[in-house]
Amino acid sequence: MRGHGGPVRGIAVSPDGATAMTVSFDQSAIRWTLATATAEAVLRGHEGAVNAVVALPDGGFATAGDDGRILLWPPGSRAPALAIQAGAAPIAALALAPDGTLLAAAGWDGSIRLWSMDGAARGERLGHQGPVSDVAFRPDGTLASTGADATLRLWPSDGSAPTVLRFDTPLHHVRVAPDGQMVVAGADGTLRFLDAAGQEQGRLEVAPTPVIALALAPDGSRLAAGGVRGSVSLVELATRRITASLVGPGVPVWSLAFTPDGKEILTGGADRLVRRWDAASGAPIGPNPPPVGEDPLAAFAGERGAEVFRACAACHTLTADGGNRAGPTLHGLFGRRIASVPDYPYSPGLKELDIVWNAETLTQLFTLGPMRYTPGTKMPEQTIGTAEDLAALIEFLRRATAD
């Protein structure tokens, strides 16, 4: 799924499996409809990279980023219902308590701050020396946290002193299985398996390089661990063995999520893409068929411009009946004023720009980039390889968006 203008830093899937939210260094969050692999909305609210996202029980999501804020996005929303300024330091990770009432935010300043879902502060947990890299709640409400200081800390819910477990490598991630078992991973590419009491039960080296993404299947049976070289290993928890590897393009995988049914894995990485995989076999799931009717690009098969447009297709349709997705329909684009599709909720400010779309203004849009040419836009930065590709895209748009 293409859409982000920067590395994909976090992925979460709603409890019903219908919707995913991805967050990126491009400062946006994108809400996706998984059945059609289309983008429903590009959400802007953070000032800076967005690093973390968790799914909420009601189908909404919470995001957090470098701006130290937590934003709550109700299902279907285009604006946050609540913004919590959790501190000045960037937030690296978020966790939701098992009863759904509490969010924990891992801060680069070494703090962990707790918030209730109405934005009330519920205390902080201080002790990590240096950035907190990850947080995860255990079934009993204990909070597990990992840090660059090579410790795993277990914070009882009553606020009493934590148990501190020391390791020999900076830790990047912790995940908790439904039975309380924990898995930690870090800079040395090795997973460490701990029982509910915190006793180490085993180790497994999954990569020669740091583990930078870790996800656990909802039933706790399997783990996915992603590395800097782009390798993702599937690990069976019971046997602590690698059962499959996802073979991607070799770019760092920064984010991983299982779907709630455990059947699919989503990965996001430095190539700005969200990829989907069969969680049992590790096989890639190809681009999904378009939702209704024929593939709108079929008539242009083999044309370079149609290929380039695949970067836009998750967010934009081309035809009158295609309707709006995350972005407005591009039907009738040539000669159209900016921000003039009647039923599309444009960003404020776009309507004031004096732009009419044609070959020249579209060239500007993608040469200067959406942020510079149309300040205030929600559209993520789009990179189009070469001037030839851009010319082919524009020629394709001219024909494909006409009546």
Instruction: Give me the least distance between CB of 28 and ligand HEC, in Å please.
Output: 8
Q: Which residues have C-beta within 8 Å of that of residue 99, sequence separation ≥ 6?
A: 141
| Window 262-321: residues binding ligand HEC (CB under 6 A) | 311-312, 314-316
| Window 362-401: residues binding ligand HEC (CB under 6 A) | 377-380, 382
37 binds ligand HEC (CB under 6 A): no
103 binds ligand HEC (CB under 6 A): no
Q: Among 58-66, 143-151, 259-267, 335-343, which window interacts with ligand HEC (CB under 6 A)?
A: 335-343
Which C-beta is closer to ligand HEC: that of 5 or that of 68? 5
Please tell me the number of Cα atoms within 13 Å of 180 on its side-chain side. Answer: 10
Of 113, 15, 6, residue with least CA distance to 64: 113
Instruction: Give me the least distance between CB of 345 and ligand HEC, in Å please.
Output: 7
Between CA 378 and CA 42 the distance in angstroms is 6
Which C-beta is closer to ligand HEC: that of 114 or that of 306? 306
Dihedral over alpha carbons 13, 17, 18, 23 (to 10 degrees):
10
Instruction: Give me the least distance between CB of 39 and ligand HEC, in Å please.
Output: 5
Between CA 118 and CA 10 the distance in angstroms is 23
Which C-beta is closer to ligand HEC: that of 126 or that of 356? 356
User: Would you call 158 exposed, middle or buried from its count of C-beta atoms within 10 A (0-12, 13-18, 19+)?
Assistant: exposed
Binding residues for ligand HEC, rule CB under 6 A, total 24
Which C-beta is closer to ligand HEC: that of 223 or that of 318? 318
Which C-beta is closer to ligand HEC: that of 203 or that of 351? 351
Which C-beta is closer to ligand HEC: that of 42 or that of 214? 42
326 binds ligand HEC (CB under 6 A): yes
Name the region of 65 (left: φ>0; alpha: ψ -120 to 50; beta: rest): beta
Distances in Å between the alpha carbon of 140 and those of 55, 125, 194, 256? 20, 17, 16, 25
How many Å separate Cα 389 from the centre of its chain?
Answer: 28
Residue 387's CB is within 10 A of a number of other CB atoms, namely 10
Q: What are the residues binding ligand HEC (CB under 6 A)?
A: 3, 30, 39, 42, 311-312, 314-316, 326-328, 338-339, 341, 346-347, 350, 357, 377-380, 382
